[in-house]
Amino acid sequence: MEFELTETQKLFQRSARELFAQECPPPTVRQMIENDAPYSGELWDKLVEQGWTGLIFEEDAGGLGLGMVEMAVAFEEMGRALVPGAFLSTVPLAGALIDGAGNAAAREWHLKNICEGRAKATVALLEDNARWDLDAVNLRATETADGMKLKGKKLFVSDAGAADIIITAARRGSELILAIVARDAAGVGIKHMSAIDATRRLYEVSYADVHIPSGDILAQGHAAESALAHAIDVATLALSAEMVGGMGWVLETSVEYAKTRKQFGKPIGQFQAVQHHCANMLLMTESARSAVYYAAWVMGNDPKHAPLAVSMAKAYASDAYREVGNLGIQVHGGIGFTWDENLHFYYKRAKASELMFGDATYHRERIARLVIDRAEEPVTRATRAGD
Amino acid sequence: MDLNLTAAEQRFRDEFRAWLEANIPAEWSKSESHEFESTDDRFEFLRAWQKKMYEAGWAGISWPKEFGGRGASLIQQAIFLEEMARASAPPLLNVLGLSLLGPTLIAYGTEAQKKRFLANILSADEIWCQGYSEPNAGSDLASLRTEARLEGDHFIVNGQKTWTSLGHHADWCFAVVRSDPESARHKGLTYLLIDMHSPGVSLRPLKQMTGESEFNEVVFQDVRVPVENAVGKINGGWEIAIATLMFERGTLGASLQITFKRQIERLIQLARGIDRNGRPASDDPIIRQKLAQIFTEIEIFKLNQLRTLTRMSKSGVPGPEGSIQKIFWSEMNQRMQQVAMELLGPYGQLTRESDYTVDHGQWAYAYLRSRGNTIEAGTSEIQRNIIGHFVLGLPKSY
């Protein structure tokens, strides 16, 4: 039994850290935020060049074929560097959905496009009621002669403005439908929803009788449900790993500050009140990290228990990243409240991440269903195991 | 990264599990609360149990083979503790000797000391207690004042120790004493092995807020201790004292984790039968949130433990990360006991003497007992100081 990264995984971690130090240093992130331009073609090209857009997909689809643990490593490093852009929406969310939907043609075309850097993608799930459970999907799909048409509105769609395709969850009668919608299709309207985290933009997507040719129905019914549930779990795991990386950055930055900032003639880190804040930040960061890497391992090796492990990771990380952010600002004092420090960018990402794919309360209820009610979730296909 | 047991680890687990199944005495298993006529009966039962484990090679498994142990790896030690907890096995009585003094003597003792003491620790023929804390030296151990005056080939020991567990049954005490009266703080201390049957040793039980007495106060009055009972150098005892404490950290979490897991499972079961606003408490959204949170924290406690064990297995030394675990479980347990109280409502407060009690009053007891968790073996404040200084590299605050 061994609970730590292998040497190869550590090597991957180091090279990822170097990649972002080089390609996405803090001044670049700040510039992207201040120019309200979180989607950098240059950065995306670098990720494509490294094969990252195919990180978790098999070689036959043009991917690298790495496992869930490697994915967690990649996202932890992206969270530490606060990498802006559509990576989360494209790879572990939309990509995993296409990969798992059991639609060979879509996999052959769209997943390959993602892996090879020709397309970005996202998933449109939430509606007015802003519920993350699949029962809340209501957007109307109606049959036409050669496919379906979609009518309605989606909210909080991440990165829709940058995505080439928006996989849209809709309902035909009682049946769940996953439709692949081109962003520039006739009748599709895209409007930015201004929110606190400028590194991952949210959009309203409207559908005015958007025509979906039958070849663009990714999945329907039970297949759609289990593929979507699985993709959301993969993306939730990736997001939780990203949150751990952010926590690590906030912790290290705050500890560094506590060592150098002097008041009453000594470093403030010499005062126990400040030390204890830092100790609490470490405790939460390391605990979240344990939960995330466990979930990554389980998803690759014991998929039956993945929903519980993912929900535990997201529930804990959601509370922890927010609280680590709270303490980080408190340790920094006045300077932590200024625009000029980078801390608040992480603080805003923490809140946005907490809300994405369900907050701690949402995931605790899911844990309760699994543990107290002993509810069974459908076993989805096994994801490739890490080493 | 592989969270499965290796084949060898599995064999070790299976072997020990089978042994426990075959050997846990019926008189222990049949009484759920493990009650005995008197504490002396309990003591003698546990002494015999350790002897049985010793004879089968299951006492002191972490010790090197040449001293009667198995040279077990950290993971094996964790498996051992998990299996003990899973089987609700009687505890090993001489726990301070096995986990603290034994490893200290193996590392720092003279050949004569090893020969004289080690085997009797394993067999429970001699029971050990720990003499560290004093009424005025708690978190600040280095301020201790129990005096050991060297007269010829004996120390004359005078002073008082407190929070001494097993004191009333102990044959021996490993103590830290001030051997240089002119010294201050960490200097001038000696690590001394004191025969508890010596003239001048007296004991008074310390009654806790739970009503029981796990601990004693020990008074030494002109107690004569031969000079060869010093471990390490005279006036060089601080280093040994700290080394002993390092052995305390590490694998404790393995058995706690099973205990906690059993408690949350029991709470979930109880919740199904408790009426909350006309429906089972297990359907109440607030109770569900709280149970799910505790369940998650117990799992994370276990996972943190696994990461620490992996790291320690590679580096060979227990690190200050133990402080994170100590804070995590002690504070988590207090929250869990509070959730239990909320779940049980007015029944939660009943002690085992009541006809209406739930689970023999264990929840009322555990609620009170958990207050000690954030104090014993280093308060949460001291643990956070350790993390601040030794893990995060912040300047020492005192």
**What residues in A contact B297, CB-CB < 8 Å?**
316
Q: Is residue A384 domain-resident?
A: no
CATH code, domain with A134: 2.40.110.10
Q: Are residues A201 and A235 in the same domain?
A: no
Which residue in A13, A240, A275 has the most chain B C-beta atoms within 10 A of its own C-beta, making it the best mutation to test that interface? A275
Q: Are residues A125 and A236 in the same domain?
A: no
Out of A115, A142, A161, a domain closes at A115
Mean pLDDT calculated for residue range A158-185: 98
| A97-to-A47, A76, A108, A171, A207 alpha-carbon distances in Å | 20, 21, 13, 17, 21
pLDDT at A63: 96
> Cβ of B393 and A255 within 8 Å?
yes
Q: Cβ distance A181 to A207 under 8 Å?
A: yes
Q: Is residue A26 domain-resident?
A: yes
pLDDT value at A387 more than 50: no
Mean pLDDT calculated for residue range B15-21: 97
Domain that holds residue A277: 223-371
pLDDT value at B31 more than 70: no
> Cβ of B288 and A368 within 8 Å?
yes
What does the alpha-carbon distance between residue B262 and residue B22 come to, in Å, rounded to a whole number? 22
Which residues of B belong to the active site?
248
Q: How many structural domains are present in chain A?
A: 3
pLDDT at B250: 55
Q: Are residues A18 and A87 in the same domain?
A: yes
CATH code, domain with A68: 1.10.540.10
Cβ neighbour number for residue A140 with a 10 Å cutoff: 15
Q: Which two tokens stand for residue A320?
A: 């922890």
Q: Are residues A350 and A235 in the same domain?
A: yes
| B2-to-A64, A348, B381 alpha-carbon distances in Å | 21, 35, 35
Q: Is any Cβ of chain B less than 8 angstroms from the Cβ of A257?
A: no
> Cβ of A371 and B6 within 8 Å?
no
How far does A328 lie from chain B, in Å, by closest CA? 14
Stretch 52-111 of chain A: residues touching chain B, C-beta under 8 Å: 69
Out of A221, A239, A268, a domain closes at A221
Half-sphere exposure of A247 (CA within 13 A, CB side): 31
pLDDT (tens digit per residue) in B168-215: 889 999 999 999 999 988 999 999 999 999 999 999 999 999 998 889
Helix (H), strand (E) counts: chain A: 13, 10
Chain centre distance of CA A48: 18
pLDDT value at B5 more than 50: yes
Q: Which two tokens stand for residue B238?
A: 């601080």
Which residue in B303, B328, B374 has the most chain A C-beta atoms within 10 A of its own C-beta, making it the best mutation to test that interface? B303
Stretch 281-310 of chain A: residues touching chain B, C-beta under 8 Å: 282-283, 286-287, 290-291, 293-294, 297, 301
Q: Are residues A192 and A272 in the same domain?
A: no
> Cβ of A3 and B309 within 8 Å?
yes
**What residues in B contact A275, CB-CB < 8 Å?**
384-385, 387-389, 392, 394, 397
pTM exceeding 0.80: yes
**What residues in A contact B4, CB-CB < 8 Å?**
1, 301
Give the DSSP H or E segment for B75.
helix B74-86
Mean pLDDT calculated for residue range B132-157: 95
Q: Are residues A81 and A191 in the same domain?
A: no
Q: Is residue A386 domain-resident?
A: no
Q: Are residues A216 and A127 in the same domain?
A: yes
Q: Is residue A379 domain-resident?
A: no
CATH code, domain with A244: 1.20.140.10
**What residues in A contact B284, CB-CB < 8 Å?**
none
Q: Is residue A376 domain-resident?
A: no
> Cβ of B9 and A259 within 8 Å?
no
Of B271, B282, B395, the CB nearest to A270: B395
Q: Is any Cβ of chain B less than 8 angstroms from the Cβ of A35?
A: no
ipTM over 0.90: yes
Out of A71, A89, A115, a domain closes at A115
Please choose, from the candidates B229, B136, B241, B146, the residue with its C-alpha nearest in 3D space to the C-alpha of residue B186.
B241
Give the DSSP H or E segment for B235.
none
How far does A283 lie from chain B, in Å, by closest CA? 6
Q: Is residue A2 domain-resident?
A: no
Q: Which residue has the tokens 């050997």?
A: B23
Q: Is residue A28 domain-resident?
A: yes
Q: Are residues A194 and A107 in the same domain?
A: no
Q: Are residues A144 and A209 in the same domain?
A: yes
Q: Are residues A342 and A247 in the same domain?
A: yes
| B36-to-B30, B162, B351 alpha-carbon distances in Å | 12, 26, 18
pLDDT-based confidence at B165, cuts 50/70/90? confident
Q: Which two tokens stand for residue B296?
A: 């998650």
Q: Are residues A128 and A47 in the same domain?
A: no
> Cβ of B1 and A372 within 8 Å?
no
The CA angle A387-B5-B11, to the nearest 5 degrees, is: 145
Which domains does chain B possess?
A: 7-93 (1.10.540.10), 128-235 (2.40.110.10), 249-391 (1.20.140.10)
Q: Are residues A185 and A137 in the same domain?
A: yes
Q: Is residue A385 domain-resident?
A: no
- The pair phi, psi for residue B395, each rounded to 5°, is -65, 145
Q: Mean pLDDT of all residues in chain A?
A: 96
Q: Is any Cβ of chain B less than 8 angstroms from the Cβ of A270?
A: yes
